[in-house]
Structure 1
C-alpha cells in the first residue's frame, strides 16, 4: 500500500511540474497572454494610423484644394501670377550701430 501511495504521489508531483513549468504550462500561457495583449494594442494603434492615412489619401484624391495646400506648405510651390515675399527676421547681433 505504501508503494502505491508513493507512486501516486510521484505521479502527482510530475504532473504538477508539467502543468506549471512544462512547454504548455501555466507560465507559458501567461507569457503568451501578455504577448498577445501587447500585439493587440500595437495592432489597434497601427489600425488607427492606417485609417488616418486612408482618409488623407482619399482627401488628396478628391480635393484639389487639399493637394494644393500640401504642396504649398511642404514643398513651397507658388501659383502663376503670385508674388512671393520672404521675410527675414532681424538678427540682433548684425543690426547696424548708430
Structure 2
C-alpha cells in the first residue's frame, strides 16, 4: 500500500511539474495570451488607420475630380495636348 502511495505522489509531482514549469505550462499560456491581446489591439489600431487613410484617399480623388470638372466647365481650362471642341446650337 505504501508503494502505491509513493508512486501516485511521484506521478502527481510529475504532472504538477509539467503543468507549472514546462513549455506548455500555465506560465507560458499566460504569456501567450498577453501577447495575443497585444497583437489583437495592434491589429485593431492598424485596421482603423487603414480605413481612415482609405477614406482620405477617396476624398482626395473625389475632390480632385470636382476641381477638374469645375476648371473645365467654368474656366475653360484644358489639359496639355487636349483640344477643346464646342458645338453651337443651329438656329433656323
TM normalised by structure 2 equals 0.67
Cα distance in 2, alignment partners of residues 16 and 6 from structure 1: 15
Counterparts in 2 of 1:11 and 1:22: CA distance versus 1, 3 Å: same
Contact 1:19 1:26 in 2 (8 A): yes
Contact 1:59 1:66 in 2 (8 A): no
Determine whether 1:6 maps to 2:11.
Answer: no
TM normalised by structure 1 equals 0.63
Alignment correspondent of 1:17: 17
Rg comparison, structure with higher value? 2
Determine whether 1:56 maps to 2:42.
Answer: no
Cα distance in 2, alignment partners of residues 3 and 66 from structure 1: 89
Cα distance in 1, alignment partners of residues 21 and 65 from structure 2: 62
Alignment correspondent of 1:90: none
Cα distance in 2, alignment partners of residues 51 and 66 from structure 1: 23
Structure 2: stretches of 5+ with no match in the other structure: 68-92
Structure 1: stretches of 5+ with no match in the other structure: 68-98
Size of the aligned set, in residue pairs, is 68
Helix, strand or coil at the partner of 1:63: helix
